[in-house]
Amino acid sequence: MILAIDAGNSRIKWGMHHGAWLGLGTTAHAEVYSLRDAWQNLPAPDCIVIANVAGEKVGSTLQQLVKDFHVKVHWVSARDFQCGVRNSYIMPSQLGADRWAAAIAAWHFCHEACVVVNAGTAVTVDVLSADGVFLGGLIIPGISLMRESLAKNTAALKLEHGEFKPFPVNTADAIESGAVLALCGAVESMRSALRAGKAPQCLLSGGSAKDLHPHLKPPTKVMDNLVLEGLVVIAAEDAAK
């Protein structure tokens, strides 16, 4: 029984896993203590695995909460090599734990060259080679950050939600469509750089996955819990040692 926790920039996602997901949830940082109530009716985990990119404050609070279970807690950090994936980062430990877990999940599911996209507050576009090497990737402001940046740094552009349109005819739609296509362009650029024969698979996760998916070329697959899936793979390998 594994409790996997992905503490991201804006939200904390968690899942209880035992062969399949027995429970899944999401909470905002400001409501982190609500996790105690969310977990109280779940089976007790045998181990807990956490990827935290939300900072020390969130990490400290999670540390307090998971003490209630009295089991081993594994705080994930990127390594040179783990679960079949080799890390090409100049300083491997500086790669975000969430990106590392997502790359491991992608390799676990695909075992082939692929582009791994986590579309949250920030969007990461990472590349795995056909032999399981994390080649590197991009970090880009997500749709909401692009929208907020334009509203903050220009005099005439308001913070409004628009819709994607092929040819936008109002400002809100122009901003939304521009953000979506900018991100999709980054994904397709990385996929093109990786291409060797057939088009590589793109695995897409995160809160904005649904906004990007219709505008990306196939093959593209949405995987809602890619980071959590990677955390489970990491925990399972550690347990087997």
Residue 44, domain extent: 2-75
pLDDT digit string, tens, across residues 175-193:
999 999 999 999 999 999 9
Distance CA 56, CA 29 (A): 12
Number of independent structural domains in the chain: 2
What CATH number is attached to the domain comprising 164? 3.30.420.40
**In terms of domains, do 118 and 42 share one?**
no
Distance CA 20, CA 116 (A): 22
pLDDT at position 13 over 70: yes
pLDDT over 70 at 159, yes or no: yes
Average pLDDT over every residue of 142-155? 90
User: Which of 59, 75, 91 marks a domain boundary?
Assistant: 75
pLDDT at position 224 over 90 = no
Residue 167 lies in a domain: yes
Catalytic residue annotation: 98
Res. 209: pLDDT tops 70: yes
145, containing H or E segment = helix 143-153
Q: How confident is the model at residue 84 (pLDDT cuts 50, 70, 90)?
A: very high
Query: pTM here?
Result: 0.94
Q: Is the pLDDT of residue 196 over 70?
A: no
Amino acid at 45: P
- Rounded to an integer, what distance in angstroms lies between the CA atom of residue 96 and that of residue 149? 23
On whether residue 149 sits in a domain, the answer given is yes
